[in-house]
Chain A
Amino acid sequence: MTASITTRRAPAAPAARVLRQRAVQAVGVVFLVSTACFAIVQSLPGDIAYRIAAGRYGYDQVTAASADTVRAELGLDRPAWQQLLDWLGDLISLDLGNSLVTGADVAGELGLYFSSSLQLAAAALVLALAVGATGGALAAARPGGALDRITTFWVSGARALPPFLLGLVLILVFSVHLGVLPAAGHGEASNFVLPAATLAVGLSGLFARVTRDAVAQIRQSEYVRFAATKGLGGRLVFLRHVLRNTGVTLIAYVGVQMLILIEGVIVVESLFAWPGLGHALVHAIFWRDIPMIQATAVALALLVVVLNTVVDLGSLAIDPRPRRREVVL
């Protein structure tokens, strides 16, 4: 009996536990978020049928007749709870339904918007990490040195510059004056550079700051000093001890920033005409496209769960120290 309990608490358990907990969380989040979205949209002022008709037919052709057609076609006269139950029923069978405005499959549309936003966020993250983490680590090598002061200046400057302004400046320099990059648009590899750089500049400052502080702190730690004392070379100490321990702090921080990044790309997406989640959500809310709003919100909520899971697993992998008392016992 005792033996079997010990087996269940074997070291492989933490990862499985993380996955199990997060799966339960995901189901709860999907239910709560979609119900809340539905309730909020229903309570917004204005006749939903007219709003949808304005989205479908444009401002030149939105009329009472087109609104009536929309109402009849979509069954908007049915009681709200019936509409909500229909949506939840479809959701259980993994059917996100069709957009009320465009008539297209929500899953397909969402896939396109989601992947463009993720691609942009990932490109920005890679760029920010490359610049920020390297800068921070170098600055920490000599706290108070010239590079450290430049990094501090960079951090404040990058944070103080709103992305919209920075984006415009980058377009003016690289597109209008130098003519080397496209100003806006989507679909070609070169289209990535300016929006990703706009997002990365602000982020890289933060990463530099966090990396610099973490590295500086870890360099002062006893285990690093011990490693140096026992005769390990500087590079080996950095790679084996400093880098791994900095990773623990940095992974958790990057996870949080990734979320803020994806949800915060709206301004940059709009400036660079990037067909992403921000674009989709704003249009869907304006048009009262309920399935699209629900699906987008659910996708964003699930993304939070997924990223938290990845951060947890990542931290577990590079920092396998036990976290729960029973394992220690």
Chain B
Amino acid sequence: MAWRKMRAAGASAAAVLMMAGCAGEGAQDNQQPHQPLKVVGQFELHSLDPSTSGGFFTRLQVAETLVDADPQGVLRPGLATGWDTSPDGLTWAFRLRPDAHFHDGTPVTAASVAAALDTARGKAGTPLSEVPVRAITADGQAVKVALAKPFAPLAAVLAHTSTQILAPSSYTVDRKVTEIVGSGPYRIKRLEQPANIELAAFEQWQGQKPAITEVKYQAVGRSESRALMAESGQSDVTFGMDPTSLQRLKQAGEVDIADVTLPRTILLKVNAGHEILGDVRVRRALSMALDRESMATALLRDPEMAATQLFPPSLPQWHQKSITALSHDPSGARELLARAGWSPGPGGTLERNGKKFTVTLRTFPDRPELPILATAIQAKLKELGIALEVKIGNSSEIPAGHQDGSLELGLYARNYALVPDAMVTLADDFGPDGADHGAMGWNSPALTSTLNTMASGSDTDGSAEGRRQVTEILQSELPVIPVAWYRQSAVVSQRVDGLVLDPLERSWRLTDLTWTK
């Protein structure tokens, strides 16, 4: 009897103590917010491979690329201190930073860099795999890249995150990446896929030592949860805010908001080989039907993000201030459609030769603004008598529909500066054969030859004129119809100073942050 009583009392006491322990720990966390820096974002880490990890480790400054870029997209030294090109443009030499070390303590050698690049080159779909490379070799403390034909934007391609340089100890014998051993200012302390990464400052880093020596990254899927973490002070830097939460946090005024316009455009990919959409007048009419300002104001909560052309102001070399802006003009759209032979049928839907104007738009929910923009577009086109069916599925349905020719319209966001020189992405997207995330059934010999001249590097003086021509052709022919630009915001707690967002999304620049005094 007495034993039973004691056992019951013991169990209750243990339960109470456990709960008290949990609560105590929470309170303690809150009192010591300064160690480590807590970063929260929507991105989950599903793979360590540089070609698929979406630039996680360059953003966290764990791994470096040979070439870096400043916020304007101008190339600058990364792991390479400089580079030279042979007069014929076929051989490039990248000189490595002397005394650079990997996080496992081994020196960064030209041989290990060449091996990492060779592995990157073998991955399908990466920008480096598209470059006409003959061989990548080590030459003393330099890495030599031999090309089959001149390719001016090579240095920009070597700034793409898929070309990050990892130590030989990162790879297995068959070149699979099993751990991330980079050469950047932070090293991985603990990594738990898919949601947790812990970093510590790398002692042998030669550059300026980061003021914040420990960082914890946590992936949180729901934007409401991220907003609450920012609001409660649990996170110091929070990425991926939805427009409504952002507006609420701004109004509350207890956190700082950093933002930057990205070189990312939300656009409608149009099948220009389609019997209805092949007519440029119809594409222009679709563009005029869109009320971009209202969509940006009501749905993105940011009127400045209404696209007036394909390239946002954050791509200053490509954005043309003087170009005629795309604008909302329903009566102009009706006129163009009438000229293309479309007239309202009995049910209000436009008809031509007894065939109704019915098209399907595919999009996906990974970027939460896309489905709501799709329904806004649907409503606007309905006013013109166009029946638009919206299908929300998986992001892969757009490239799949491109390949089998079944895609009519696709709505997605395209980043033109994943390689800092937008030319690389544009040459692929608007080449003669089109591309999964570019033109479909559309070809402009003038645009192709302009891009080819720029890629070969033979016309450096005329680049500005070339870029103007490219923008103008795209604006008038509309193989893709720009809808909105994109602003990235981060919520920063008042414990932290110095966050400046990188429009190229290459780095979160955590090394520049300091604790508020």
In the assembly, what is the distance between CA of A47 and CA of B402, in Å?
A: 13
B455 to chain A, nearest CB (A): 19
Task: Give the residue name and chain of the A residue nearest to B43 (CB).
Answer: A58
Give A68-119 interface residues, CB cut-off 8 Å to B: 68-69, 101-104, 109, 112
Among listed B21-29, B200-208, B289-297, B440-448, interface-contacting one: B21-29
Do A286 and B394 form a contact, CB below 8 Å, given A67-B399, A185-B234?
yes
Residues of A within 8 A of B364 (CB): 59
Nearest Cβ on chain B to A116's Cβ, whole angstroms: 10
CB neighbours (8 Å) of A65 from chain B are 124-125
A53 to B399, CA, bound (A): 11
> What is the interface residue range for chain A against chain B?
35 or more
Q: Does B199 contact A (CB under 8 A)?
A: no
Contact of B220 among A60, A104, A273 (CB under 8 A): A273
CB distance from B317 to the nearest CB of A (A): 21
Assess whether B393 is in contact with A185, with CB atoms less than 8 Å apart. Answer: no
Q: B36 at interface (Cβ–Cβ under 8 A)? A: no
Distance of B426 from chain A, by nearest CB (Å): 15
Q: Does B225 contact A (CB under 8 A)?
A: yes
B245 CB to nearest A CB, Å: 12
> Is residue B324 contacting chain A, with contact meaning CB distance below 8 A?
no
Chain B hits for A66, CB < 8 A: 124-125
* Distance between A131 CB and nearest chain B CB, rounded to angstroms: 10
A147 interface residue per 8 A CB criterion: no
Q: Does B360 contact A (CB under 8 A)?
A: no
With beta carbons under 8 angstroms apart, the residue of A46, A272, A275 that contacts B394 is A46
Contact with A along B97-130 (1 / 0, CB 8 A): 0000000000000000000000000011100000
Q: Please measure, in the bound complex, the distance between the C-alpha atom of A188 and the C-alpha atom of B219, giving whole angstroms.
A: 15
Min C-beta distance of B144 to chain A, whole Å: 27
| CB-CB under 8 A for A189 and B4, given A58-B54, A65-B124 | no
CA distance A249 to B26 in the complex (A): 37
Residues on A with beta carbons closer than 8 Å to the beta carbon of B229: 175, 182-185
Question: CB-CB contacts of A175-215 with B at 8 A, as 1s and 0s?
Answer: 11001111111111110110000000000000000000000
Taking CB atoms and an 8 Å cut-off, the chain A residues in 31-59 that contact chain B are: 46-47, 50-51, 53-59
B10 within 8 A of A: no
Question: Which chain B residues lie closer than 8 Å to A286 at the CB level?
Answer: 394
**Beta-carbon nearest neighbor of B364 in chain A:** A59
Within 8 A of A (CB), among B210-245: 218-222, 224-226, 228-229, 231-234
Does any Cβ of A come within 8 Å of B302's Cβ?
Answer: no
At the interface, yes or no: B375 with Cβ under 8 Å from chain A?
Answer: no
Contact B224 A271 (CB under 8 A): yes
B512 within 8 A of A: no
Query: Are A50 and B26 in contact, with the CB atoms below 8 A?
Result: no
Give Cα distance in the complex from A55 to B51, angstroms. Answer: 13
Contact with A along B378-394 (1 / 0, CB 8 A): 00000000000000011
Compute how far the CA of A88 lies from the CA of B207 in the bound complex, rounded to whole angstroms: 54
Residues in B with CB closer than 8 Å to A140 are none
Choose the segment among B64-72, B188-196, B274-282, B494-502 that binds chain A (4+ C-beta atoms closer than 8 Å): B188-196
A63 sits at the interface (CB 8 A): yes
Contact A186 B196 (CB under 8 A): yes
Q: Which residues of chain A come closer than 8 Å to B176, judged between CB atoms?
A: 103
CB-based contact A50/B234 at 8 Å: no
B400 contacts A102, C-beta separation under 8 Å:
no
In the complex, are the beta carbons of A193 and B225 less than 8 A apart? no
B436 close to chain A: CB less than 8 A: yes
Asked if B46 and A102 sit within 8 Å, CB to CB, the answer is yes
Task: Give complex CA distance A311, B358 in Å.
Answer: 59
Residue of A nearest to B54 (CB): A58
Q: How far is the CA of A63 from the CA of B402 in the complex (A)?
A: 9
A181 in contact with B396 given A66-B125, A273-B222 (CB within 8 Å): no
Which chain A residues (209-265) contact chain B, with CB distance < 8 Å?
236, 239
Q: Select from chain B the residue with minimum beta-carbon distance to A269.
A: B221
A56 engages B194 (CB within 8 Å): no
User: With A50-B399, A183-B228, A183-B234 as given contacts, are A273 and B219 in contact (CB-CB < 8 Å)?
Assistant: yes
Q: Is A62 an interface residue (CB 8 A)?
A: yes
Contact of B396 among A62, A185, A188, A275 (CB under 8 A): A62
Q: Quick check: is B15 within 8 A (CB to CB) of the other chain?
A: yes
Bound Cα distance from A64 to B125, whole angstroms: 9
Q: Is the CB of A168 within 8 A of B220?
A: no
Interface string of A270-286 (1 = CB under 8 A from B): 11110100010000001
Q: Does B52 touch A at the CB level, under 8 Å?
A: yes
Contact in complex: B47, A56 (CB < 8 Å): yes
Residues on A with C-beta less than 8 A from B195 are 186, 273, 275
A46-B393, A102-B193, A273-B222 as given contacts; A182 in contact with B125, CB under 8 Å: no
Q: How far, in angstroms, from A69 to B172 measured CA to CA in the complex?
A: 20
A-side contacts of B399, CB under 8 Å: 50, 62-64, 67
User: Does B395 sit at the interface, judged by CB under 8 A?
Assistant: yes
Most chain-B CB neighbours within 10 Å: which of A58, A59, A270, A271? A59
**How far is the CB of A99 from the nearest CB of chain B, in Å?**
9
Partner of B125, one of A55, A63, A273, A279: A63
What residues of A have a CB within 8 angstroms of the CB of B402 in the complex? 64
Query: Are A171 and B25 closer than 8 Å at their CB atoms?
Result: no
Contact of A63 with B21 at beta-carbon distance under 8 Å, contacts A182-B234, A273-B221 already known? no
Q: Does B149 contact A (CB under 8 A)?
A: no
Given the known interface contacts A47-B400, A180-B26, the answer about A54 and B394 at a Cβ–Cβ threshold of 8 Å is yes
Complex contact B52–A58 (CB within 8 A): yes
Q: Are A63 and B27 in contact, CB atoms less than 8 angstroms apart?
A: no
Cβ-neighbour of B22 out of A112, A189, A279 (below 8 A) = A189
A141 contacts the other chain (CB 8 A): no
A275 and B436 form a contact (CB under 8 A) = no
Q: How far is the CA of A190 from the CA of B28 in the complex (A)?
A: 10
> Does B133 count as interface, using CB distance less than 8 angstroms?
no
- Contact at B52–A104, with CB atoms within 8 Å? no
A90 to chain B, nearest CB (A): 19
- Among candidates B51, B193, B225, residue contacting A183 with C-beta atoms closer than 8 Å: B225
Q: Is B30 at the interface (CB under 8 A from chain A)?
A: yes
Determine if B225 and A187 form an interchain contact, defined as CB atoms under 8 angstroms apart: no
What's the Cα separation between A238 and B52 when bound, in Å? 62
Is residue B57 within 8 Å, beta carbon to beta carbon, of the partner chain? no
In the complex, chain A residues whose CB is within 8 Å of the CB of B509: none
B367 at the interface (CB under 8 A from A): yes
CA distance A117 to B395 in the complex (A): 29
B412 within 8 A of A: yes
Whether A180 contacts B30 by the Cβ 8 Å rule is yes
Verify if B397 is at the interface (C-beta below 8 Å from A).
Answer: yes
* 22 CB-based A-B contacts, threshold 8 Å: A46-B394, A50-B399, A51-B394, A60-B414, A61-B52, A61-B125, A62-B395, A62-B396, A63-B437, A64-B402, A65-B124, A66-B124, A67-B400, A103-B47, A112-B192, A171-B232, A187-B196, A189-B21, A193-B19, A193-B23, A270-B221, A286-B394
Q: A50-B400, A180-B26 are in contact. List 17 more A-B contacts (CB 8 A).
A: A46-B397, A54-B396, A58-B52, A62-B396, A64-B436, A67-B396, A69-B124, A102-B193, A168-B224, A175-B229, A185-B234, A186-B196, A186-B218, A187-B196, A188-B29, A190-B22, A273-B220
3 closest cross-chain pairs (CB), A and B: A50-B396, A59-B395, A190-B26
